[in-house]
Amino acid sequence: MRLLLHRPFRKLSFLSSSTSGLLMASKQLLKSAPFPNPLTPSAHRHPFHSRSLVFSPISSKPVLKIRPLCLRTNGYSSLSPAHVAEPVEVEAPKENGMSSMQMRILKEKLENLGIDGETISVPGQYNHLICPMCKGGDSEEKSLSMDISENWDRAIWCCFRGKCGWTGSTRAFVGNRLPPETSKLKKKREITEEILGLEPLCEEIVDYFSERMISRGTLMRNAVMQKSTGDQIAIAFPYRRDGKLVSCKYRDIDKKFWQEKDTEKIFYGLDDIKGTNDIIIVEGEIDKLSMEEAGFCNCVSVPDGAPPKVSSKELPPEEKDTKYQYLWNCKEYLKKASRIVLATDGDGPGQALAEELARRLGRERCWRVKWPKKNDKENFKDANEVLMYLGSDVLKGVIEDAELFPIRGLFNFANYFDELDAYYHRTLGYEYGVVPGELTIVTGVPNSGKSEWIDALLCNLSASVGWKFVLCSMENKVREHARKLLEKHIKKPFFDKRYGGSAERMSVEEFEQGKKWLNDTFYLIRCEDDSLPNISWVLDLAQAAVLRHGVRGLVIDPYNELDHQRPPNQTETEYVSQMLTKIKRFAQHHCCHVWFVAHPRQLHQWTGGPPNLYDISGSAHFINKCDNGIVIHRNRDPEAGEMDQVQVCVRKVRNKVAGTIGDAFLSYDRATGQFMDVENTQKST
């Protein structure tokens, strides 16, 4: 055979002299006809596993001479030794008279429920068994306690696993129909190729797979067969466990699927992952065959389709997880795997399936593939598409380059490179000394100008880097706060009398322009009733402002205007610590700087100097947990200097990029509410 690659993104095809044509859409595929084929399988064994076996002097089981192809791993894995139970002699009950008949009937009923009757010892005592509902959990504990009456007339049981709790009872002579509460498990059918009427593949179907780049050898090894019904032929994918046929799935030319009823749900290709540390899971049988063409035999396919979306409900217990029961039926094959590559389809349902599988298998050992681009707008959908259009080498590379499945709360630095780039290039306002995602505590004695200084800082940030802000300022009336902000922005007083002195009042045009600036720059958090807002309420609204309006700063002014109710067993120190942790998480998660104003406690021996951060009422956590700590202090002593002089005391700076500890002296312009350096004020005079 030779492999030909046609035009870009045209299918790759196998060509042979025996193939008369590509019959992808041929209606003749639906007609039954005898086709000579030397690949006639046996009825009770896997017909296409032809690899030779060798026997190890250590192991009592035959092992494969050819090592399975495995994926690259990023870590180590180990296999725990098997635990072999010691044989236990059980005294068989005497089979005589009515008790013998009742014993036989009762055991049959228990076996119909999935309980192994042969493991039950003498009646009249409790038996500890494996529960058929929960399988004993991960530890496979014998959690099912069962009591059999002395005469084998009745059985009562209860599973003591907290996640199961299955209970029930039955009697030998209550009729053949099981009671509703004990009919949860149906006995699985035993099937063979002869019972299902499976046949070797005809050449038309072999050619169909050939067009999809699946070779005859891969079909042989996976025992793909066909089933004829009247004049129609369907492809048969046998599902096997330890070589024994346990189910079968069919596909016709119109891509309609159906499965055998009352058979066990397992992975397709289950025997190929027995004892392997690396596993690939795909969404369809043909994708599993495609993986083998790329060199990966350690691949299985889910038996059912993908869900439309990820479930919002909590993960159900194993016994109630009916949609994904095949996972639990195959857990012995999966629990030793250290690397599971989820190569589901690239569409929405396929990604939802990957998420649901990862929830159950454990995200920490899952990887996911990224299918190559088909064009500018879409990617290839699945493994077989990649194989058909790009070839086996590309498909192999896709699997080898699988990336770690994301885990909520666990990241690497690559997830933050965009933010790091912005930090380096100073495109997020870092150059002004205000770092997004930090918490600044501002304190000072009453009437020192804390709120005025923060408003001035916000106006400067708006002018320099275009930040937007959300304000939770409970001490300010809205109109008064708007006046202060407009005066700082326009640099003119709101009124021409009173405090304005001889300064020119802002014009009507400036006032109207200022109103637009206010509306575009600031958003307000206001409590519309008499109740006090709590910190969670404030942060929820601030989050809405971040997501809806793109604000970069939050002001909470002041701390004592919030509702601080706490549980009776929680101290104020514990409450403050918890509150500040919430604020810091909000700031970091939303890349939003938070200014939090907190008043100092009552200073009994105050000498007129600035307080320190440890004087804040409530807890020392205000200084311990903040990123920046600032004290705003206004001179009240005429002999110590100018009365309008404001001292900005920087008492804590966690990030050296933001600045250093020290003091700055500013002059406050009462008419416009602006702050200026004292040196600049002296030069202007």
Instruction: Please tell me the predicted confidence (pLDDT) of residue 342.
Output: 96
Q: What percent of the chain has pLDDT over 70?
A: 79
Q: Using alpha carbons only, what angle is made at residue 258 by residues 255 and 260, rounded to the nearest 5 degrees?
A: 150
Mean pLDDT computed over 154-161 = 82
How many C-alpha atoms does 633 have within 13 Å on its Cβ side? 22
Q: Where are the domains of the chain?
A: 99-171, 194-404, 439-628
Evaluate whether 273 touches 254 at the Cβ level (below 8 Å).
Answer: no
- The pLDDT assigned to 430 comes to 56
pLDDT at 625 over 50: yes
Band (pLDDT 50/70/90 cuts) for residue 327 is very high
Q: Can you tell me the distance from the alpha carbon of 585 to that of 450, in angstroms, rounded to the nearest whole number? A: 24
pLDDT, mean of residues 222-234: 91
Residue 50 has pLDDT above 70, yes or no: no
CB atoms within 10 A of CB 108: 13
The pLDDT score that the predictor gives to residue 41 is: 42
CA distance 675 to 364: 54
* Lookup: tokens for 163: 């996640």
Output 394 or 572, whichever has higher pLDDT: 394
Intrachain domains 194-404 and 439-628 with the same fold: no
pLDDT in tens, 363-382: 999 999 999 999 988 999 99
* Integer Cα distance of 671 and 499 in angstroms: 6
- Please, which residues bridge with residue 410 across strands? 407
Name the CATH topology of 194-404: Dna Topoisomerase Vi A Subunit; Chain: A, domain 2 (3.40.1360)
What mean pLDDT comes out for the span 611-615? 84
Which is more confident, 358 or 154? 358
Confidence at 520, pLDDT banded by 50, 70, 90: very high
* DSSP designation for 654: S
Average pLDDT of the chain to the nearest whole number: 80
Q: What is the pLDDT of residue 320?
A: 87
Calpha distance 70→209 (Å, rounded) = 25
For residue 44, pLDDT over 60 is answered with no
The pLDDT value given to residue 644: 73
The end-to-end CA distance of the chain, in Å, is: 95
User: Are the beta carbons of 146 and 109 closer than 8 angstroms?
Assistant: no
Q: Quick one: pLDDT at residue 133?
A: 84
Question: Measured between alpha carbons, how far is 68 from 63 in angstroms, rounded to an integer?
Answer: 11
DSSP 3-state assignment of 69?
coil
Lowest mean pLDDT among 6-10, 289-293, 648-652: 6-10
656: three-class secondary structure by DSSP: coil
CB neighbours of residue 577 within 10 Å: 17
Predicted local distance difference test score (pLDDT) of residue 214 = 96
CA distances from 388 to 9, 147, 166 (A): 9, 59, 49
Q: How far apart are CA 284 and CA 454, in angstroms?
A: 61
CATH label, 439-628, candidates 3.30.1330.10, 3.40.50.300, 3.40.50.980, 3.30.420.40: 3.40.50.300
pLDDT reported for residue 231 = 82
Residues present in the chain in total: 685
Tokens of 283: 């969404």
Instruction: Indicate the pLDDT class of residue 457, thresholds 50, 70 and 90.
Output: very high
Q: What burial letters (b/e) apply to 413-426, b meaning 16+ CB within 10 Å?
A: eeeeeeeeeeeeee
Asked whether 535 and 579 are in contact (CB, 8 A), the reply is yes
| Radius of gyration of the chain from its Cα atoms, rounded to whole angstroms | 38
Distance, CA of 646 to CA of 241 (rounded, Å): 81
- Evaluate if residue 636 carries a pLDDT over 70: yes
